[in-house]
Amino acid sequence: MFYKRILAVPQEPGKIIFSKRRENTYVSLETDRTYLPKKQYTIPKRVVIGKLVDPEDRTKMYPNEKFFELFKQDPPEEHPEPKFMKVLVAMDSFKGSLSAYDAGNCVKVGVEQAGAALLPESTLTCVNLPLADGGEGLIDCLSAKLCAQGFERVTLDVHCANLSAPKVRATMLVRGNECIIESAQALGLPLIPVAERNIMQASSYGLGQMIAKALDLGCTDLKIGLGGSATNDLGLGMVQALGVKFAGASGTGGTPVTSVESWREFTGLYDNALKTRLAGCTVTLLSDVTNPLLGEHGATYVFGGQKGADTEQKARLEAALSAGAALLTEHYATDLTCAPGAGAAGGLGAALMYFMGAKPESGIDVVLKLLNFDAELKAADLVITGEGNLDTQTLGGKGPMGVARRAQAQGVPTIALCGGRDAHVDPTLLKEQGLCACFSIAPGPIDLKTCMEQGPALLTNAAYNVMATYLLGRRLA
């Protein structure tokens, strides 16, 4: 019992202090209240607390058993260690170094090591929930969760962006009339060796083959993730795979037109076959990109360089896309060139809007909903997210910011770990969107190649240090 381990010491008339370890409990007959850490008890008036054994010795007394019947439990510790802690790890990929799952697993190892060192065993649970915002890794991050809900993985061989190269194996997720497609499975930049890349000839034909397969399976609800593509063809290859024909000098033979500059030669298009196939279909494009199709913030000038386009090629690509946009605007009697997301994946965003009536949605928001992220978040004490490079594009709605915003709405702090961090990113803007802190995993001045090669170890070490700092901060709070 509580009173058996207490030394009761009268301090002044009408007041006694009970001492247990370094905690004090005050009993005042004047206020008729007893104050314990985090708890408050009311005692009856005129209660007899006890009698002194020796009037000359104020440290000894006979306790009144009726008084101590009021206290059946020991008082709580003033700063107890948490009995249970959950850390939710939601990492995007570190392109060229770590997939989203592998990055999350590295963070998980570091977090658990810190927990083992600073917390009692079995008090910390770490959940790895890999992310994608529509680009590379979308199918991998959704497969485990959605296959448990009835989705199946459907694979097929399709063309990559280089039509002269061997076909690649692509995977889609299908359940009933629902289909989730990742364009990077067919058009991903890493699928083509650097020496074989030619952005002027890169074709989106493989994505059209995937969409055609989904339609053949009877799917009418298509979600198409865009990002990480090697193409800049305004969907020219994609729609040819779906049966669209073009009038003009390039002809409409059986061989797909691959040159993006063919847009400048087309004088018309025939899309009746595609319209028939799409009857009753809903198409949603998933992307973190909100760029328009054309201009300095468009597909070519923002992303063309990443795909190998030099200055002269960028000018030619921009002219070709401008011609294509003019043709599509005239044919569909609407101008979508400035629609948010039109510039995604080299103009695939615009093509899907024009030809299929696709509606753009935030890729990360759709993915988090599919993963039931909010339910995972409810019991979390901390979220750790991140990606290869945190820059101004991250603020536009990429994976880490989508995670941080949702965590902020539920009062859960979020910390980001990234390979590199753009010095121009304002920490205030990150904080406003829920990202409490951001750390680079680089231990100091280091070249990109070395950082990518040592990525797993660097990420694990950074996660350990962040988690250890967090736990020590809680202890001192």
Strand partners, 326: none
> What's the CA dihedral at 460, 463, 464, 467 to 10 degrees?
-160
Predicted pLDDT of residue 432: 81
- Percent of the residues in the chain that have a pLDDT greater than 90, as a whole number: 55
Tens digits of residue pLDDT in 263-307: 999 999 999 999 999 999 999 999 988 899 999 999 999 999 989
**Pairing assessment for the beta strands 33-36 and 39-42 based on DSSP bridges:** antiparallel
pTM for the full predicted model: 0.76
* Structure confidence by residue, pLDDT tens digits, 149-168: 999 999 999 999 999 999 99
The list of the chain residues with pLDDT below 70 reads 1-83, 121-122, 249-255, 392-397, 477
Burial class (CB in 10 A: 0-12, 13-18, 19+), 449: exposed
How do strand 15-20 and strand 50-54 relate by DSSP bridges? unpaired
Q: Please give the angle made by the CA atoms of 280, 281 and 285, to the nearest 5 degrees.
A: 155
CA atoms lying within 13 Å on the CB side of residue 59: 2
- The whole-chain average pLDDT of the chain stands at 82
Q: Which amino acid is at 369?
A: K
